[in-house]
Structure 1
Amino acid sequence: MKRIGVLTSGGDSPGMNAAIRAVVRKAIFHGVEVYGIYQGYAGLISGDIKKLELGSVGDIIHRGGTILYTARCEEFKTPEGQQKGVDQLKKFGIEGLVVIGGDGSFKGAQKLAEQGIPAIGIPGTIDNDIAGTDYTIGFDTALNTVIEAIDKIRDTATSHERTYVIEVMGRDAGDLALWAGLADGAETIMVPEVDEDMDVIIKRLKRGHDRGKKHSIIVVAEGAGSGVDIGKEIQQKTDLETRVTVLGHIQRGGSPTAQDRVLASRLGALSIELLLDGNAGKMVGIENNELVAHNFEDALAKEHYLDEKMYKLSKELSI
């Protein structure tokens, strides 16, 4: 294999640039040319493809986002769109592909693999919702961004004796809310994997207020409900002064943490090793601090599950 391509797809996450850098430099180290595919699968279809050199990825390891940009592409979900992508890869002489993104991105890579294009997937998403890896690139950075925000909000909550509802990202997975809530001592953590009884939450808040508690922090994953609606319900049923903060896309940005930079570098390098060994059609990840690789079929067939022991612990510590 003498020429490979790399693209980022789906939502951006801090550490994607570090992964791109590792892919490019590891490949060049082994005498392989690397072509960057811009705008994800949309750029693959349109042929927005350029050769990357060592200098192309200089000074990007510390930058959030992705220098290759990213975009959603409905056309690539069709057989016709996938064929256009294959044709572009053949036109540029690209013999293998590294895809950095989430499960939707991996489904696209799997389709290419089925058509004879060796492909490797690197998990990059702040939601940490990919099966087959303990952590995804970007999760640690987003988590620390959320924790920093909650720490600051807690100062105000304490000063004004208020209840604060903080909505974080996590449409289908509550890892970000759970980890942040546990790290920040939240009284309640609401995740999409667990149906919370609002009456129980209300009783807990009232019980805390009755024993002299002056403020409370409630962390809500967006998939568990609207923070604004939950805040209104709490205020109506408790008469506690309640404020809502929706952190939004601030969670996606920022310089990646050391953990995300190292993870991205390790996974990026592993993806090249697998391609050069002829061991493609896989997603790379990390389990128990060991690098692993799973077939796309196996990885996509499994579901990511919330850590039930950690969730139980959060309940026990928030009494």
Structure 2
Amino acid sequence: MMTLLAGIDIGGTKCAVTLGRRLAPTGIALLGKVQFPTPKEPLQAIAEIMNVLEKLLVEQGGSLAAIGISCGGPLDSKRGFILSPPNLPGWDHINLIAPIQERFGVPTGLQNDANACALAEWRYGAGVGTRNMIFLTFGTGMGAGLILDGKLYAGTNDMAGEIGHMRLEPTGPVGYGKSGSFEGFCSGGGIVQLGRQKAMEALALGQPPGYCLSESQLDWITAQKISEAAHAGDDSALQIFHTAAVQLGRGLSVLVDILNPELIVIGSIYARQRSLLEAYAWQELQREALPLALQVCRVVPSGLGDQVGDYASLSVAEYQLM
């Protein structure tokens, strides 16, 4: 009988339940996945998650070894509580692990999404074989998952890796509630803010950028539109990505100096727009970081690409067995 791992991903709009089978020495085979809209009522959501998992187990016919849960923070991973995440209104101090563990009777773990993605890249992606690795989300927000000395490091109360809150400039785009923050410059929302400011300046001069041809389009600017314009050679769009890249390099230099990692893996926007970001980020990193620390560190895009979310919660499950 197959030994299975179950992964549960809880998001603001949808939940996903995944089953996988461990492959030696590192790897996992995805066997099944079910997605559904996240119910507004937490207890209803938990009940639906357990019912879906039960059906998947019946379909696959294996023996469940562990369950992993990935969810946006803040949370208490040791007690298994979700603590009022901004994308899950009403999920206030919800005990998530207890009912799931009671029903299925196997080790169950909970981690925030950045930590879960870090585990996934470490076990199955670009970080296989490393002992000191950092994963950066660089998507809707900017957060980090830390693998230090061969273990996930979550901090005293699960707040380690909240690098998006770090201020890089006195002023600038707002991210994580702070202007000029790492998340402000290096996230989808931050790039849109930079794009809107550039567009307003260009429109005032009668030189609209390729991603925003009139004032009526200001509210429709997206990071994707800016990247498409940049690839087409639009000067304003290229300047936006140059700004994001320089600030990315500056943020990375802090991580390199403090944590001395051997690998930094960056997901989402960096992985998709590497050609626009890598060179300028690396130049800034070389200017700012300690040379001895930088010479042992590589910076690479996510090895799992857009599938990192599928592997994230399964990697939390596997981590319960390590």
- TM-score (ref. length: structure 1): 0.30
Greater relative contact order (CA < 8 Å, ≥ 6 in sequence): 1
Higher gyration radius (CA): 1
TM-score (norm 2): 0.30
